[in-house]
Amino acid sequence: MGSIGDNDGGSLYLYRSSKTAANMVVKSLSIDLTNKGINVVALHPGWVRTDMGGPNGSIDTQTSVNGLRQVLDHISPTDNGRFINYDGTAIAW
């Protein structure tokens, strides 16, 4: 929902705008903190079957959390400023 490049669904203007704004904060922080050796990334948990995600979500909470933990375990300076899916794939800003 926060990707401009990966938006082929339209609608949900306010929700998408707030997600995109949060992603801009992440990107700016990644630039400002790089000299301190701090890596900043945006993580996408996937479309998770929860009360908010609904029953049609493509993954369960365990898959999402396990994937996010794997991504975090392997973050390196080359990931700084990236938007990363729970499965480790890059998401277009």
What is the per-residue pLDDT across 24-62, written as a single tens digit (0 to 9) for each? 999 999 999 999 999 999 999 999 999 988 899 999 999
Q: How far apart are CA 37 and CA 9, in angstroms?
A: 37
15 classed as catalytic: yes
pTM (two decimals): 0.87
The mean pLDDT of 78-84, rounded to a whole number, is: 97
Q: Among 13, 19, 27, 86, which one carries the catalytic annotation?
A: 19
Q: What is the pLDDT at residue 3?
A: 83
19 classed as catalytic: yes
Q: Among 15, 27, 36, 86, which one carries the catalytic annotation?
A: 15
Q: What is the pLDDT at residue 35?
A: 97
Q: What is the pLDDT at residue 26?
A: 97
Torsion angle of C-alpha atoms 16, 22, 28, 31, degrees rounded to 10: -110
Q: Which residue has the tokens 């992603």?
A: 23
